[in-house]
Structure 1
Amino acid sequence: MKQVSDRKLSRNVLTLSLIFILTLSTSIFAQDGDPEKGKTLFNTNCAACHQLDKKMTGPALRNIEQILADEQGLDREWLAAWIRNSSAVLKSGDAYAQKIFDEYGGAAMTPFPQLSDEDINDILAYTSQERAVAAPAADVAGGGASGSASDSGISNKVVLGALALLFALLAMALLLVRRTLTRFADAKGVDITKTERTPIWKAFVKNQFLVLVTVIFLLLASGYYVYGYLMQIGVDQGYQPVQPIHFSHKIHAGDNGIDCKFCHSSARVSKTSGIPSLNVCMNCHKSVYEVAETTATDEYSKEFYDGEIAKLYAAAGWSDEDQAYTGDSQPVKWVRIHNLPDFAYFNHSQHVTVGGLECQTCHGPVETMEIMSQYSPLTMGWCIDCHRGTNVKVEDNAYYTKIHEELSKKYGVDKLTVAQMGGLECGKCHY
């Protein structure tokens, strides 16, 4: 009896051990992977449709393996099969696969047969990490920024106060010196009498030559300043309006390296560069619903940028919660920055595609601009100077083959400027 009892006890212990191991395994599923490698794989393969903590085209994937094990009893093998070929899992009649497929509007998941077991383990290790708690906004941005600002304010007040005190002491010193000198003069019997002096304006009026020179100088100076003022009419260099939705060229063209012509695509083929439609913005911002913590600055916080993305969603009629368009869109009243007079003709495609100019040639270092502004004066003289000094890029451009040969012989040069090819003719820009 004792042996039977011992066997039963051993069997029970073994059963409990197996149950414990299975239970424990559900909580350490992804611990055998590398989260750092998993992050790279996730960003490369998954981030277009999934976020860790937010539902997008597909479900949020934070602790997805643990959730599926607890709620659906599905293991890593099922996940691996789904990741590699979701269509095959659907065709097998899997109930949960069909439920997910229907819940997300019948959008088929892209198959990833190239991912190895190790790759999937790394991705699941990344998704199993706990969410990092962000520091309070006041501590991150407000505290540091306001502290430095207040320190700067205090130091400025101290400097101004010290200067005011210095001038007051100097005035008092001058008064004391004057009183002392007057007292010495009285003690020595020196009579201090005021002599009558001719006012300076009377002396100036009597000198006719000086009056003539002054009048000529004032006329010339007035003409110079009037001419300078009139020449600035219509010149908006430095114009930097506030847009209804804040758009940072520094983040998009600079940090993210997006080509200018990806958004301003019409610059390649038309007269104008065009304003990108909201659909162009939403191509990326369906997935990019917030900015990275590292993007924030003392002037522009993460909350500010996220709020501007929310404005974009409202204008495009996009429900981030439902991941669908509501149909309630609103036009964005962008403020135009660059504006040439109606009598001046300018064609973007002629400069960008035919001429091969970079956008920065006219618009300046756009990739560094947080708020877009007019960099160049866009005056006639500025355009003419560019035409005189810029060589036309005729290599591999059949349009210029014949004219290049003829004009090269005419001017005796190998390279031709825009001016030598007729770029200074009035009819090129005014007709």
Structure 2
Amino acid sequence: MSIKRSLLSVPLRFGYVMMFFFLLLGSGVMAANPEVSDSEEAISAGKSIFNSNCKACHRLDQNNVGPALRGVTERRTLDWATKFIRNSQALIASGDADAVALYNQWNQTLMPAHEFLSDDDVMNLLAYIEYGDKAEAVAATGDGGGAVAAGGAGVPSEYLTIILAVLVIVLLLILIVLGLIISILTKYLGTQNLEEDDKEFINQRFNFSKLVKSDAFVLIVTALVVALVAKTAIDGLYSVGIQQGYAPTQPIAFSHALHAGQYEIECQYCHTGVELGKSANIPSANICMNCHMHIQNVGGQDGMSPEIAKIYAAVEENKPIEWVRIHNLPDLAYFNHAQHVVVGGIECQTCHGPIEEMEVVYQHSTLTMGWCIDCHRQTDIKAQGNEYYDKLVQLHSGSKGSLKVKDIGGLECSKCHY
């Protein structure tokens, strides 16, 4: 009987041990909530929701405006996480201890409500938070340092400048050495018994005035001047209507380097039409207020920043911000952003340059007809997994080499001109 009693008590004691073990370890090592899916579909859908609604303030594995999010379902219950995502302000107002603690820890910054998210949307978002972009987690812990160093193995621009400078110095030294050799040889030959013609050739002096007055010199200089004038005139004609480098002063000093670079806000968050139609849309003040309802200063200064105050003034006066258009195409040219971004899979930087590095936005590319045609000649069609191109791929199945834009009518006049 005693043996049976001791055997029956084993599971109970084992349960106590395991409970004590998990209490000691805490939530940091527990597995993510099993209700959160780790499927590719859920992670992909969650990434889209995260980029549209969360990326301005949060990162998965690093603190930003708000805390790092990965592991939230380990630290909190699924029900709590759902309530906080949908309406954190209501949860804080209810007196929830965890919500109030987070609110105070992060400078009492309020998170916008997301009550429009369905249950599936929230679960997909949590799937991405827990399982998406694991490479970022490696980089955040420092384990990816070797890969980053290897990926950046190239010759820095300053090294190229040094190499060019050294080459120029070497060429100058070679010229000096050749001059010394000629001088030494001339002096040596001058001591030898040479014929008069040879001595005259060796001792001859350079006559600059005679060179300038020669017909050949005049002809060469005239040809160079004519060529320079002609090239300048042609370049001037070709530059008519080209605004490359144009960087006007905007009514608000908006920094793309800060928003798109440091905070990694997606272009589509502000330029809402880029995936829907021809125009990318200039963002309204209401879009700015999505974030600046809660962020009212920059750099830790007291009070509202002057530039942010202009956004508030535009909203209060119900007047649009009069942004100055930078990228202009002639009226006779048709360009559709959705066709290039959604169907073609073209990155914004392809045409607009390193926009995430620009403190003041400028026109990076020439945007000329020749520039567009060259792109259509060289760009491969991204047909894999793209239903839009299925029939076109079938029609060009016999083509040799990769399918380019020019092969599907990309050079036809009517594609870009009405």
TM-score under structure 1 length normalisation: 0.49
How far 1:398 moved relative to its partner? 2.1
Supply the distance in 2 between the matched residues of 1:363 and 1:224 (Cα, whole angstroms). 28
Partner of 1:137: none
The runs of 5 or more residues in structure 2 that have no matched partner are 1-53, 55-79, 81-86, 109-206
Which aligned runs of 4 or more in structure 1 are off by greater than 4 angstroms?
112-117, 120-129, 198-203, 302-305
Partner of 2:389: 400
Supply the distance in 2 between the matched residues of 1:291 and 1:382 (Cα, whole angstroms). 39
Supply the distance in 2 between the matched residues of 1:284 and 1:362 (Cα, whole angstroms). 27
1:342 aligns with 2:323: no
- Counting aligned pairs with the same residue, the percent is 44
Partner of 1:241: 248
Equivalences for residues 234-383 of structure 1 within 5 A? 234-293=241-300, 302=301, 306-317=305-316, 328-383=317-372
**Conserved? CA contact 1:340–1:378, under 8 Å:** yes
Supply the distance in 2 between the matched residues of 1:225 and 1:268 (Cα, whole angstroms). 41
Supply the distance in 2 between the matched residues of 1:277 and 1:379 (Cα, whole angstroms). 29
Aligned residue pairs, count: 236
Q: Which amino acid aligns with 1:254?
A: G
Supply the distance in 2 between the matched residues of 1:275 and 1:221 (Cα, whole angstroms). 42
Question: SS of the counterpart of 1:408?
Answer: coil
TM-score under structure 2 length normalisation: 0.50
How far 1:113 moved relative to its partner? 11
Supply the distance in 1 between the matched residues of 2:291 and 2:96 (Cα, whole angstroms). 28
- Alpha carbons of 1:201 and 1:306: their partners in 2 closer, same or farther (altered >3 Å)? farther
Question: SS of the counterpart of 1:226?
Answer: helix
Partner of 2:138: none
Supply the distance in 2 between the matched residues of 1:342 and 1:124 (Cα, whole angstroms). 51
How far 1:272 moved relative to its partner? 1.0
Deviations 1:309-362 (A, max 9, x none): 011111111xxxxxxxxxx33332211100011222111111011101111111
How far 1:257 moved relative to its partner? 1.3
Supply the distance in 1 between the matched residues of 2:352 and 2:296 (Cα, whole angstroms). 29
How far 1:115 moved relative to its partner? 8.9
Partner of 1:224: 231
Supply the distance in 1 between the matched residues of 2:243 and 2:361 (Cα, whole angstroms). 13
Q: Which amino acid aligns with 1:275?
A: I
> Which of residues 384, 400, 416 is equivalent to 1:412?
400
Deviations 1:110-149 (A, max 9, x none): 23699975x36845874999xxxxxxxxxxxxxxxxxxxx
How far 1:210 moved relative to its partner? 3.5
Q: Which amino acid aligns with 1:377?
A: T
- Alpha carbons of 1:379 and 1:303: their partners in 2 closer, same or farther (altered >3 Å)? farther
Equivalences for residues 23-38 of structure 1 within 5 A? none
**Conserved? CA contact 1:408–1:416, under 8 Å:** no
Supply the distance in 2 between the matched residues of 1:342 and 1:430 (Cα, whole angstroms). 9
**Conserved? CA contact 1:252–1:258, under 8 Å:** yes
Q: Which of 1 and 2 has greater Rg?
A: 1
Supply the distance in 2 between the matched residues of 1:280 and 1:242 (Cα, whole angstroms). 21
**Conserved? CA contact 1:249–1:367, under 8 Å:** yes
